Amino acid sequence: MTASLADRAQTATAKGQSLAAQVVRIRRGVYQVPSQSEPGVRWTVIDQAALESGDGLQCVCPAGLVGKPCAHKSALIVRRQQEAKRRQRLAQAAAEVTTTQKENLAA
């Protein structure tokens, strides 16, 4: 029985959740994510837009090379979402501190 594309994408997303903390930025647009099935192996994920060579993410794992959803691309997406939320919380905290400082100066 073959898994549908939607099933594969859902599985990749679930695996990506567990790998997100292990994403390593090598340089702008190039990341490495560990394999879950091959200990010691790290797959490279390329952000083509960041490298101005296209759109989307490309992974060099076996699934990624044939255009199937993979956990490594999902891990990078999840990591970016986590970082965006963190930056948003920091910006909000900084704005609150600035507001408090202004109020204290005005008092």
- Compare 56 and 2 and report the one with higher pLDDT: 56
Give 73's contacts (C-beta < 8 A, 6+ positions apart). Answer: 12, 16, 45, 57, 58, 59, 64
Do 43 and 33 meet the contact criterion of CB atoms below 8 Å apart? Answer: yes
For the chain, the structural domain boundaries read 7-106
What is the pTM for the complete model shown? 0.76
Query: pLDDT digit string (tens) for 47-106?
Result: 998 888 778 999 999 999 998 899 999 999 999 999 999 999 998 888 887 777 667 777
The single-letter DSSP state of residue 2 is P
Query: For the chain, what percentages of helix, strand and coil (3-state, to nearest 5) are there?
Result: 55, 15, 30
45 token code pair: 């994920």
